[in-house]
Amino acid sequence: MKEVYLGRQPILDRNIKIIGYELLFRDKEENYAIIKDSIEATARVIVNLLTYMDFKDIINNKLGFINVTPEFIEGELLDLLPEEKIVLEISGIERVNKFVLDSIINVKEKGYKIALDDVKFTEIITPLLKNVDYVKLNIKNFNDIQLKEIVDFLKRYSVKLIAVKVETEKDFLLTKELGFDYFQGFFFEKPTIKKEKKISSYKIALLNILKLSILEKEIEEIEKIIKGYPDLTYKLLKYVNSPFFYMRTKISTIKQALSVLGYTNIQKWAILQLFASEGGDIKSNPLLERAVIRGKMMEVLMSKITSDINKIEKSYITGMLSLLDAILHRPIEQILESLYIDEEIKEAILENKGNLGYILGAITSLEKDQIDTAKDYLKNVNLGIEDLLSAELEAITFYENFMETQ
């Protein structure tokens, strides 16, 4: 059977918390998008999804948005999908007829939610808007005036609006002001750098822990910082005692925990806490998710080209560090300099140089759906697109399992 891979892109609420994912079905062939363009391919992908993947591992307690056609939702395969977790995303409807409308009403009665994507917004689609739950708008297809007119038109109906291709903070603020309910894109990775914005003492403490562990200073120095923050003590002990580490005996002191973890795992823990320090439900934090998935993908791909454990561990940290500017609102160059990061990691993040840089470049290209660019990076390390796609799926599953221990 032909291999099928899966990626996902978060859909966020107005507080930038994850409420669901668009599930991106992928294969390694040149005709990359065919999976979402035909009934047969959609059916094949869903069969593979149900057979080889666990929905819980992919979306956990969030919603999964799946691209389908009106013809597909009339088929028997639909009944295999968990209706409480699935939003059926129908694209490209150009005209409304009885078949389309009856199909949507039928699946709504079964308990599924419906999203419309890439439709023409005229009075002709009024019957659909009375029967769907979400409407997705690619904001790059409209200017600001057109976007406002469409939003005003759609607000007449009880649908939730999802802004797609929200890539900058400006995009987010505009669409939020217009009244969109949810947002899809990577704007949360591109912060506005504000030099006057102060870093909290809590984050400074974590940065100091990170720096000391990079420099492999005495464990007592790291312990001293952690003792000043009771919640960090709790989080450290919870982390090291979690099923993730499979400790035979419980760890009960800070020094013992730090000694067991070692400097590399202390770095991972400190970076993780930096991303989790934004508050709220950490399982709905898109930056934390992206950092862990990026780090795990780096680790998986690096392990395919070397057995050197130091390089593999360094790759994980490189992936997580590459997003640190989005948390600290500082230029990444400044952050890396202050941490005394070695040149290999620095060049990988800043210039996509070396094996670390090639792998990071492939991952960030995949995140932007720049498949040809990803392939070019992979050639430098003798890997193929199938390696990248399988690493993405493994990293998604790893993240969901890891979050269960937090």
Q: Does domain 201-403 have CATH number 1.10.3210?
A: yes
Which residues of the chain does CATH 1.10.3210 include?
A: 201-403
CB 184 within 8 A of CB 165: yes
- The amino acid present at 199, given as its one-letter code, is I
Which class does domain 5-189 fall in?
A: alpha beta
> What is the model's pTM?
0.87
- In the chain, what percentage of residues exceed pLDDT 70? 86
Residue of 165, 166, 158, 161 whose CA lies nearest to 150: 161
Strand partners, 9: 22
Distance CA 129, CA 209 (A): 53
Task: Retrieve residue 260's tokens.
Answer: 């067991």
**Is the pLDDT at 148 greater than 90, yes or no?**
yes
Please, where in the chain does CATH 3.20.20.450 lie?
Answer: 5-189
The encoded tokens of residue 372 equal: 């040809």
Under the banding of pLDDT at 50, 70 and 90, the label for residue 34 is very low
Phi first, then psi, for residue 129 (nearest 5°) are -65, -20
- Torsion angle of C-alpha atoms 67, 82, 128, 140, degrees rounded to 10: -40
Classify burial at 168, counting beta carbons within 10 Å of its beta carbon; exposed 0-12, middle 13-18, buried 19 or more: middle
pLDDT surpasses 80 at 281: no
Task: Please name the helix (run of DSSP H) or strand (run of DSSP E) that holds residue 276, with its range, or none.
Answer: helix 254-276
- pLDDT surpassing 90 at residue 249: no
Give tens-digit pLDDT for 81-136.
888 888 999 887 767 788 888 888 888 888 999 999 877 766 667 888 888 999 99
